[in-house]
Amino acid sequence: MEEVIHARGHEHVTAEHVSTFEVTTDDYLTPAGDCILAIEADRAPADFDSDFVTACQDRDATITVTIEADGHTETVEGRGHPDLEFTNERSAVGRTSDYVDDRTVVTGAEFAAEGFDRDLVDALADGAEATVTIGVERR
């Protein structure tokens, strides 16, 4: 199962955060937002299908987040968690930890914003259109 978000980069994308990465529906980004990879997302976790959410709530599920922009692609893998809510109407956040709040879409991610391919980050910093695909597989 997959959910797809369309967003765009912004000049303040730095992707330097060590424990999270984020895509937001907000139409702005300040330099402090070092985990944010893309803004103006057309969907948020609250928009995702209930069957997708249920699949992600399985601790043994594998969740992948793939971001594509300007010919560059990066995929990060993590896992599901029973406490994932998918109720936030603004932001989707991936975390390297097991912390869960209403924005969290994946836990135990292999890496955070700082681990994303620098060519992809540069494209996002140039304002490239981005496609974010979140997939889930139950084991």
- CATH number of the structural domain spanning residue 69: 2.60.120.630
The separation between CA 108 and the C-alpha centre of its own chain, rounded to angstroms, equals 13
pLDDT band at residue 2 under the 50/70/90 scheme: very high
Q: Which domain holds residue 72?
A: 2-137
For the residues of 41-81, what is the DSSP string, one character each? -S--GGGS-HHHHHHHT-TT-EEEEEEEETTEEEEEEEE--
Mean pLDDT of the 108-118 span: 98
- 105 contacts 132 by C-beta, under 8 angstroms: no
Confidence grade of residue 138 (pLDDT, cut at 50, 70, 90): confident
Average pLDDT of every residue of the chain: 97
Q: What is the pLDDT of residues 14-39, one digit of tens each?
A: 999 999 999 999 999 999 999 999 99
**Number of structural domains in the chain:** 1
The pLDDT tens digits of the residues spanning 84-111 come to: 999 999 999 999 999 999 999 999 999 9
Return the pLDDT at 44. Answer: 98
What pLDDT shows up at residue 139?
Answer: 74
Over residues 40-81, the pLDDT tens digits come to 999 999 999 999 999 999 999 999 999 999 999 999 999 999
